Amino acid sequence: MEKLSISHWAEADRPREKLERLGASALSDAELLAILIGSGTPKESAVDLMKRLLNDYNNNLNTLGKLTIKDLVQYKGIGSAKAITILAACELGKRRQKATIEKMPILNSADNIYQFMHTSIQDLDIEEGWILMMKQNFRLIEAKRISVGGLTMAPVDIRLMMKEALMKNTTVLAFCHNHPSGSTIPSREDDRLTSHIQKACEILHIHFADHVILTDGAYFSYREEGKL
């Protein structure tokens, strides 16, 4: 009986869909490699092909990474392009092990937020809104721009902001934006936005650390001014 191609598998079993649903860590080595090569042969799926390949080398990725293109193309269904992709992935894995972990800053004060963000947005002639997603110890997970406007900031989608925060397992959130006018005085819209973010964070049990307005050389902190 002819093997079914991955496209005919139940969606829950397809490697790409499985990664999208559960994350890369939920996939086996063979499934991850199958995503890289994309397809197998009419009689063998990409996953089965990778299982066979790994089995020949004791299911050891380190051993796999020592193979040559010539070694890999001996397998039906693996041409030079697929062999190169596999070896490139193995090499990236080795380099990642050697790379030092980049330490993200701790943004536990308005001044720290200002020092981190001002070089990015202080000289802009339009307003940009950024969320700073952090761990419980205020160490930054990711800074993400979520709004770009003109002289005044474009409306901020609170739902999108919270979605981003939840996807990053955020426990502490700060918002910051610049005032091209050079004034740090918050507008009524800034006050309304701060209130909306605070309420959304309370519902999701995320600590809203601050809303910081930045200019070239100064800032306004809702937290420091007792407005949070």
Q: What is the pLDDT of residues 121-153, one digit of tens each?
A: 877 888 999 999 999 999 999 999 998 876 566
The 8-class DSSP code of residue 183 comes to -
Q: What is the pLDDT of residues 56-67, one digit of tens each?
A: 999 999 899 899
State how far the Cα of 94 lies from the Cα of 109, in Å rounded to an integer: 37
Distance (Å, rounded) from C-alpha 24 to C-alpha 61?
16
Answer for the pair 107, 137: CB distance below 8 angstroms, yes or no: no
With CA atoms as reference, report the closest residue to 90 among 29, 20, 31, 47. 29
Query: Is the domain defined by 110-221 classed in CATH 3.40.140.10?
Result: yes
Per domain, the residue ranges of the chain are 6-98, 110-221
Q: What is the pLDDT of residues 3-44, one digit of tens each?
A: 445 555 544 458 888 888 888 889 999 999 999 998 888 888
